Structure 1
Amino acid sequence: MEQREGQAMATISHVPYSCACQAIIKATSSLEPMELINKIRNKIYGNLTHGNFIQDDLILLVKSDHIVMKKLDPGMCKPAETPSNYKGTYKWLLTNPTETAQTRCIKNEDGNATRICSISIETGKSQWEKPRFKQCKLLQKLPDKIVDFANITINDENADDVAEHILKLINESPPLDEEETRIIVSKVDEISKCDEISMNITQIMLQIISAVLEKQNDSTSNLHQVSNTILRIIERAGHKMEFSGRTANITVSRLALAVLRARSFEGMAFSIHSCEDGTSPEIYLGAVPPGRVLTSIYLPKSLREKIPLNNLQTILFNFFGQTSLFKTKDGTKTLTSYVVSASISDMSIQNLADPVVITLQHTEGNLNYHQLHCAFWDFETNNGLGGWNSSGCKVKKTTVNYTICLCDHLTHFGVLMDLARSAVDPVNEQILVVITYTGCGISSIFLGIAMVTYIAFYKLRKDYPSKILINLCTALLMLNLAFLINSWFSSFQNVSLCVTAAVALHYFLLVSLTWMGLEAVHMYFALVKVFNIYITNYILKFCLVGWGLPAITVAVILSVRKDIYGTLSPTTLFCWIKDDSTFYASVVAYFCLIFFVNLSMFCTVLAQLNSMKSQRQKTRRKMILRDLKGTLSLTFLLGLTWGFAFFAWGPVRIFFLYLFAICNTLQGFLIFVFYCVMKDSVREQWRLHLPCGWLCLGNFSDGSSKPGANVGYKKERMKKTFEHKLLTPSLKSTATSSTFKSLGSVKDTPSEISFSNGEKRRCVV
């Protein structure tokens, strides 16, 4: 009987949900192709219980007419040659599909290199898989000293050999010094970045890390320099590890790792049951938290709301029985328990409807309950070296034997200019958050009122200072709104949305700082360069700088590296600049330039005010009040209160953070007070156009109905105008201290002034 051989592709689909499964079947038979296909098709359907396919949490409803099959002609894999820098060049002969080609190793002929000829599920054609050199030895011998590994480059071809050799050298060596530790960690880091990470190589990497922790020389130990790198190695290898099934566990001395593939999630507990001193951890994975354990972490059912549908995620659990990895340089905090962690690929665990429950058994009896604190490992503290951060974390329950922790996090306004980039204790953090959100909310309302006032009344918005003030109010309003919605955006656990929120906050912060600087530039032109100054499209050019320069800065950062923006830490519901160097370059340096320019202009204006005191015929009390008003209004207009960030260090850090939060979240409200409520021209427009009654603060002059009183009132207003122009000057105003001295007479109209030389000037109020 004639034998026929062929391949067929079966497609099983569930039309309502557009789900499909594809498989390639190789069969040998004497039947005709169509008969063979029908027989295979019926066999497939018959093996599905009641027409359904069930595996783990996946249920696929299948009907016979949903199974589609077709014959494939994949062809053979053609002869090929693969050069390897570490194990030699290998030739592969013509090979049938689904078969494995093999050839003897060059260095050791008792081993074989293999390569599979597979069939592409997309094209249905034969193709070579990646060659496997596991049995083949390296052409060159690896160094016998750890320090000599510094010049060894690692890739998928030699990763297994290098890992095994390093582990052998560590086990045979005396305690490691700082240089040897650094080299070993850097090589393991390179291994973890390879494309293929098997369970075997993951276990070897954990054994290396465990051995490094045990082989530390106490006199030269400097693990805090590599702690972050080691933690990232374990997390990266765990999420990339290849394994079959739904779960995988790896345990070595004092370290344990468990990986769970989750498509639908109903809650999961990871715990360590046994082990004396944490040396031989025994892993438990279950749907509910167990009883007495060494340590455990429970992820609630509400986590499934954070896992994208139809997207297979890996949940990684880690246990660290060796606490030397988490010792900080200052040594001010001491661990009283082992460490447990959980992470999900491509996302962080935050803002769940139900809390993540973490139970930690004390390594020693807890005799002082009130001195215990729950904390998380913050990768960004200590200049990127990592350290403990208790911000937002609290103790739910503690006894002599164990502690249960809950953590959440809010953010205060000072984080935008926190030069120290470090956390605040939970009590002060909570107070600062209340101040921040209250102040930002109040400022947003009154900034909106100020903008509407100046835009609605033409007499207020026609001069340059008013137009600049409108832009500054707009920038501050957008900054406050961007800050207020930032945590809400972060709670969606969407990377793109978080980046958008961080970019918006960064942009409007720079815009606000820029317009504060432009206020100072305008004052310079009006006070110092007061004569013969005419700039075409003056406000347009200011707008191009005020809104365009920050846009260019943010665009350059995004084009270089997008992942600079994101959540500040795993428990922080706030999107901002993660990279310290970018923060200091694009925010701190930018702010310093604006601040010192504005401070110089502030001193210049105060000098001008002081030179005019001899011309004032007022009581001492009125002079003091007027000078105080002018000084405060300029302080908030030019953003000088942002300078409190320079003093938020050391023992006075909390005090200046309070000053920073109060003054800068209320900056918009205080601008409204000084440039709307306390400004005569604004109040006059309110009085004329709004039916606000007593809120308009009554008439602007006493006895205005008397004959001749209006002239005296206008003259008084004219004098006030000159002093006001020093605080909010216009390029159209020519009044300085020198011109004020040459003032001859003030006419009945407050907009025209006659000087002693006969010249007339127009003054815009």
Structure 2
Amino acid sequence: MKCGKELLLLGVMCVVAKSITSCRDGFVSQRNRCIDYNECVVDNPCPQHSQCFNTNGSYYCQCLRGYRERKGRQNFNHEGHCEDINECTELSGTCGFGATCMNNIGGYNCTCRSGYVNDTTDLPQGVCVDIDECADAKLKQEDICGNGYCENLNGSYWCKCPQGYTNYGKWRTPCSELDCESFNAPETSPSPSLSGLAAIFSMMRNSCLALSTSTVPDEGKANGEALLEKFFTAAEALLSPMQPLDRGEDVTDLLHTVEDSIRFIGPQLKQKTNKIETTETDAEIAVQRGDTRPTGAVSLINENARLDMDWAAASGTGPYPGFAMAALLSYKNLDKYVKQSFDELKEQEEGKTDPTFQINSKVASVVVSNPSTQNLSHPVYITLKHIKANEASEVLKYKCVYWSERGTWSTDGCREHKSNATYTVCRCEHLSSFAVLMALYPMEHTFGLQLVTKICLVISLVCLILCIFTFSCCHSIKGTRTTIHLHLCICLFIADLVFLAGISQTKPVGGCRFVAGLLHYFFLGVFTWMLLEGVQLYRMVVLVFNATLRPLYLYTFGYGAPLALVTMSAIIRPEGYGTDQYCWLSLKDGLIWSFFGPVCAIIIMNVLFFIVTVWKLAQKFASLNPDLSKLHKIRAFTVTAIAQMCILGLMWVFGAFMFENAANSAVAYIFTILNGLQGALVFLMHCLLSKQVRDEYARILSCICISEKKRYSDLLSSTNPSSSQSQSQGSRSAQITGESQI
């Protein structure tokens, strides 16, 4: 009982002590006293972008400068949220005159606009003042207006051009001289077909004079788009009734007038791209402006032509640092009026088969702002659509030509980059004021060449079949060398068969590429097996034991090496298989060397093998006890192998030029005859000139003859039984007689 009272008393004392030392929220007990608890220092309960303020027993938060509380409260607790204030839109007069306000998170910046500068170091609220560009240019000894006078404006400046000069309404562009005299009518009277040139000259001259006499900026802002439309309307009236032009000078005047007019109108155009089409012309003009010369690629296209060039080549060193223009103009019917003037091309073809030239594309002109285009820093590519598509039965050569100052078509500085049945891509090193077009001439193979090709290939195929039969069935000549000859003939047979059936079947494209791939593979296979023959001869002479090659090694290399080369070539450049005229490797972009490269390497290695072989043979013949029969046999093998290599190598020397469009008839006939008679020559060297093969042929023929005689005898005995009976009796009597004699 006493213990319970003590526990009760102790509990009461604890409750009293706790009530005495307990503190309210925001206070903390220290030495039995309640003091303020600083939440800002210990907990920092305020949200981001705000500042905490402590109070006696509590705290409050305020947003930092540049922020406001989401609900507009000035003082708030931890539940508040501070948002950025956009001073540029919500505060007026944030930045001074001539400055641009840029809002930042929690603040803003003032930047001076072009033509102004900050005159204080306090940038956010600084005042921007006008820059006197004219005074600065004089101080720096810069000629920012060229031939004009610099006049300062608020935030800018104006190049005031004197009479005879203009900046085409672009205030800050240097003034350049206007050559209005270039639009004077020529002294010599043009052809009656070009009588409409006078209207174009007059219109361009008046526009030029109006620009050269303007003294107020607004007057210089000519409407280039309207002037361009008027010009093409006048050009349409000039070209529509035109008759064929006999004089080259008339064509030159026409092209120069059109190009000079576009070059004059270009700087007045406001739009970056202008396309305009009439019944006679189709044009696209691209314009670039900036403080520096433009860079990058530019492509212009219309129905009949395409232009790909670089802006650096288009602008060059023109009078306008930030201006460049490139224009592509196609004449829809001009090709009908300029069908002559091929004298220069005929001079270049002198000594060759006399070609017939004709224009096979629309005439296209390229105009750029670059005043010097005789030697461009980057080549220009012009794609011209063919008027007449190339047919599979035609063998044509395309020429990229331009209209020269001599009034004729010329190829200087322009060449064919890529061509197919429907278009040709021309690569030109210059432009100037020329029309870029395409010419072609036919070079058809004669019927005689086609007939010779078929006859020779048929003979070759028949001989190769005989070779394959011989090497497969004659057991007396079995061996490594015979195996090599067998597979060489198989590869050559398939290659000739594919050549005969598909070399000219260019449609469809996929089938033509497949034929080209087969020819590539099997002709490489022929040379690969020829290399193996050289290796085998070398081993027969140099090695005394184990001179034969295992069949597995032969098949792996003979068929695997060509397959690897063709596979890599097809993966790297599949479009090079098949051309518009032949199903063979393209002679462009170096793909043909995937065939000629290995062929040359094989021929060089075989030459080395044969030199060593002949040298070793000579040493063996000079030895004391030579095995003459074996050496004579190897010598015969070597001679036939060298002859075979010479025939195949010589054939592809002419084959390198056969698939050129300019190949003449002599090259074509030589290649055809050598290619067609390969099988016959292989049959002659390896079969008819081999004594073992001749003996095998004689044995086979004798077996055939004996079987025929036996069959004939059996036939007679079956048809005359009495005779056979008497013969049997006679034979029996002879036997009896003989036995009696013995």
TM-score greater than 0.5 by the shorter chain: no
TM range (shorter): 0.3 to 0.5
TM-score when scaled to structure 2? 0.39
TM-score when scaled to structure 1? 0.38
Larger Rg: 2
